[in-house]
Structure 1
Amino acid sequence: MKKRRYYLLAFFISICLSGIFLACDTDPEALNIERPYTYSEEYYESLRAYKESDHQVFYGWYAAPGQLEGVTAGYRQSPSMGEHIAGVPDSLDFLSLWFGIPSLREDDSLSSYNPIAYEEMRFAQEVKGTKMLVVEITRMEGYSWLELSEEGIRDYGDYLMGMVFDNDLDGLDLDYEPEGDWIAGENFATLVEYIGNRLGPMSENPDKYLIIDYYNQTPPPSVEPYINYLVNQAYTQGRTSTSAQYLQSRYNQVSDWLPTEKFIVTENLGEWYETGGAPFTEADGNTMNEDGEQIYSLEGMARWNPRQGEKGGFGGFYFGRDYINYPPYQNVRQSIQAANPAVR
C-alpha cells in the first residue's frame, strides 16, 4: 500500500484545484454526485493515476446495456443514467460486461451492435481508466463445434481470447462454475495455462488481465501464477446476515496457494440493492460504522481483510441496481470510501 496515500492525495488535491466542486471534498467517491458532469482533464489524469495506484479495487458485473431496442432509426438512448456505462461511479476499477460486448459493427458474431454503449465504454476505458472485461461461464459441452480434447481446449481458448483482442478490451473473466462440464479440474487448468501465455501476468501481454471468478467449486491451485485476481462470489444467499468470519472461511479454502492481494470478495447486489447487502458483523463483533449506522455486507466486504493480509478488492454482481438509491450508487460509493479512505 506504499503508493496509495500519494495517489489519493494527488487525486483529491487535483479535484479541489480544478474547481469541479464548490467546496473541496476529499472523499474517494463523493456521495452527492449527479450525472452527467463535465470534468477537467486534471480530474481525469488524477482518476487514472488513482486506478494505477496500490489500492483495493472495486470489481463489478454490469448488466444494463445502456439502450432500448427497436426503433426504425436504429437505437434510442435510455433516459436513465442507471442504464448507461457513463452513469457508473468513476472510481469503479473493473467492469465485467455481463450484458455482452457492445460494438459499432452489425455483422460481428463476437459482439452486439450497440453504438451508444460502445462509445460510453470507450470513454470509460480511455479517459477514466476503467478496465473492461469479457465474461464467460466456462463450459465447453455447450459448443457443438468444440472437441473435448486438448485441441478443443486450445480452440476454446482462441475463441475466448478473440473476444478480448478483436474488441480491444482489457481482459477476460473466466466464470468457473463447471457443474459437471468437461472443462473442469485439470482440463480447466490446461485452458488457463494456454490463455495465460497471451493474457495475464505471465503472458506476452501483461497489460491484459486474466481473472477467474467462482462460487463454491474452487479452481485448481496450478492456475495461480497465470491470473491477476481470483474473485469469490461470497454472496449472502439463503441467509439473512453475513460476517467477517464467513469471508475468512471463503479465503481459507484457497489460502494455501493464493496470495491475499489476489483475492476479491463480492456480494449479489441484484438481491440486496436496497440496503447494499445483508447485516454484517465484523471480526470483533462490531456491527456499526463510524457514523453509528448498521454495516451491510458490501461495506463489510470493503472493510474486511483476511487475517493473513490485505485483500485485492471487493465488488458486486448486478451492482447497477444500486443506481436507484439516493444519491445514485450510494452503497457502492460509500463502500469505495470505506476500502480506500482519503488522506485527511
Structure 2
Amino acid sequence: KTDENGKQVPDTIFLADNINEENLQYYARYAVKQVVDAEMDGMDWDFEGWSSSNLLPVIKECYKYFGPEGKWPEKLIIIDYFGGSPSSDMNPYCDYLIRQAYSGQGTGAAFASGWDTKKQVMCEAIHQKPNGGNVESYAAWEKGNKGGCGGYSIRFNYNQDRLGVPYGALRRAIQIMNPAIKK
C-alpha cells in the first residue's frame, strides 16, 4: 500500500511490530483526512488502549493540521480518558482534555496533573448516579478556570432531581459555572 506521495506504508499500525513514530504519524494524517472529508469540527482521541508515548506523535502530527499554524486551525483536538490520564506533554497540542467518569469506578475529582485547568472538562455518568452524581461538584471545581463539565446520558436527569426540577442537577451546574444575571 502507498500513501499520497507514493511511499510504501503498512496496511495497519495496530500490530506490535508496526508501531513506530512514522506509522503513528501516517495514522494521524489518515485521521485528519477523515475529519476534513466528513466536515467534522475536530477529533476526539480516546486514551484507553494507548500509551502516552504512542499517542504523543499522533497528537503532534494532528496539531500540524488543526493547530493555530495548521491549515484548519478552527478544528479541535480533544483527548478523553478514563482512569489514568495521558502525559501532560500533550497539553500544548490539545484543545480539551475530557475525564470520563462514566461508572462507579471512575467518579471522583482526579484531575490530570500538569494539564492546563482551562482545558480540563469533567464528565459525570448521570444515568448511573442519583441526583446527577458529582456534576455540581465538577461545576464548582476551579470556578471560572476550567474547560467545563458535562454529563453522559443526561436524559436520565430529567425526572431524577431531589427538588422535582427537570434536569435539576444540570441546571444547577450551569448556574454554578455561569450564574444568571440578576436585574
TM bucket (normalised to shorter chain) is: 0.7 to 0.9
Structure 1: how far apart are the matches of 2:94 and 2:69?
Answer: 8
- Whether 1:164 aligns to 2:20 is no
Residue from 124, 127, 150 that aligns with 1:315 = 150
- Whether 1:275 aligns to 2:131 is yes
Secondary structure at the counterpart of residue 196 of structure 1: helix
Secondary structure at the counterpart of residue 275 of structure 1: helix
Does the CA-based 8 Å contact 1:202-1:226 persist in structure 2? no
Matches within 5 A, 1:234-253: 234-235=101-102, 237-238=104-105, 246-247=108-109, 250-251=110-111, 253=112
Measure how far apart 1:202 and its partner are: 5.3
1:193 alignment counterpart: 60
Does the CA-based 8 Å contact 1:202-1:225 persist in structure 2? no
Measure how far apart 1:327 and its partner are: 6.0
The higher-RCO structure (CA 8 Å, 6+ apart) is 1
Structure 1 residues 201, 224: closer, same or farther in 2, change over 3 A? farther
- Whether 1:341 aligns to 2:176 is no
Structure 1 residues 301, 268: closer, same or farther in 2, change over 3 A? same
Measure how far apart 1:334 and its partner are: 2.9
Matches within 5 A, 1:18-97: none
Does the CA-based 8 Å contact 1:201-1:227 persist in structure 2? no
Secondary structure at the counterpart of residue 232 of structure 1: strand
Residue from 176, 193, 198 that aligns with 2:47 = 176
Structure 1 residues 333, 201: closer, same or farther in 2, change over 3 A? farther
Q: CA RMSD in A?
A: 2.8
Measure how far apart 1:235 and its partner are: 4.8
2:118 alignment counterpart: 261
Does the CA-based 8 Å contact 2:29-2:61 persist in structure 1? no
Structure 2: how far apart are the matches of 1:175 and 1:270?
Answer: 21
Determine what percentage of the aligned residue pairs are the same residue.
Answer: 31
1:228 alignment counterpart: 95
**Structure 2: stretches of 5+ with no match in the other structure:** 1-12
Normalising by the residue count of structure 1, what TM-score does the alignment of the two structures yield?
0.43
Structure 1 residues 219, 203: closer, same or farther in 2, change over 3 A? farther
Structure 1 residues 189, 299: closer, same or farther in 2, change over 3 A? same
Structure 2: how far apart are the matches of 1:160 and 1:322?
Answer: 34
Measure how far apart 1:164 and its partner are: 1.7
1:148 alignment counterpart: 19
Structure 2: how far apart are the matches of 1:176 and 1:220?
Answer: 10
Normalising by the residue count of structure 2, what TM-score does the alignment of the two structures yield?
0.75
Structure 1: how far apart are the matches of 2:70 and 2:103?
Answer: 35
**1:116-165 Cα shifts (integer Å, max 9, x gaps):** xxxxxxxxxxxxxxxxxxxxxxxx63xx7x94233321332133223321
Does the CA-based 8 Å contact 2:42-2:77 persist in structure 1? yes
Does the CA-based 8 Å contact 2:44-2:80 persist in structure 1? yes
Amino acid at match of 1:188: L
Structure 1 residues 163, 317: closer, same or farther in 2, change over 3 A? farther
Residue from 151, 167, 170 that aligns with 1:332 = 170
Structure 1 residues 202, 334: closer, same or farther in 2, change over 3 A? farther
Measure how far apart 1:323 and its partner are: 4.5
Bigger radius of gyration:
1
Does the CA-based 8 Å contact 2:77-2:93 persist in structure 1? yes
Measure how far apart 1:324 and its partner are: 5.6
Secondary structure at the counterpart of residue 132 of structure 2: coil
Extract structure 1 runs of 4+ deviating beyond 4 A: 323-328
Does the CA-based 8 Å contact 1:192-1:226 persist in structure 2? yes
Amino acid at match of 1:303: A
